[in-house]
Amino acid sequence: MKEKDPNYAIKVEQAIAKKYGEVTVTNPKSSWDDEKEKKYLDELKEMYYNNIDKEDLDKEEVNGVFIPKKLLREESNRSCSTCNTYSFKSKDDVYMTKFSCCFRCYVQYVEGREDRWKNGWRPNK
């Protein structure tokens, strides 16, 4: 049975330094001092405060909830004009775009009577 070489780690480190340069095996703390630490912390604080201000400015309150403005579109209307329900369903997308109503209202009021719907007829509420 071969004995383990106690200098194996040192030999590997020397081989890495030879192949990739001395910078790869130096300890990062060796070049770190109090001045660099202070500068790093100041930059970190500045970045943090800049991001907080931008995040607060980019949000808008909708029904008591703050939502980023990039998620809001003025032309996006997910409420059915007939039954006033808000829809998350993907199958309602087509009917919302074409008829301004949800799938359920389309089946009940519009299907087979598209011309009447396009002329402005709506059910009594």
Could you read off the pLDDT tens digit of each residue along the chain, which spans 125 residues?
467 888 898 999 999 999 999 888 888 888 889 999 999 999 999 888 877 656 566 777 777 777 777 776 655 567 787 887 877 777 777 888 788 888 888 888 888 888 888 888 888 76
* Entry pTM: 0.39
φ/ψ region of 88 (left if φ > 0, alpha if ψ in -120 to 50, else beta) reads alpha
Half-sphere exposure (CA, 13 Å, Cβ side) for 65? Answer: 5
Beta bridge mates, 61: 66
Please check whether residues 62 and 77 belong to one and the same domain: no
64 and 80 co-located in one domain? no
Q: Are residues 82 and 59 in the same domain?
A: no
Residue 20 maps to a domain: no
79 and 54 together in one domain: no
45 plus 79 within the same structural domain? no
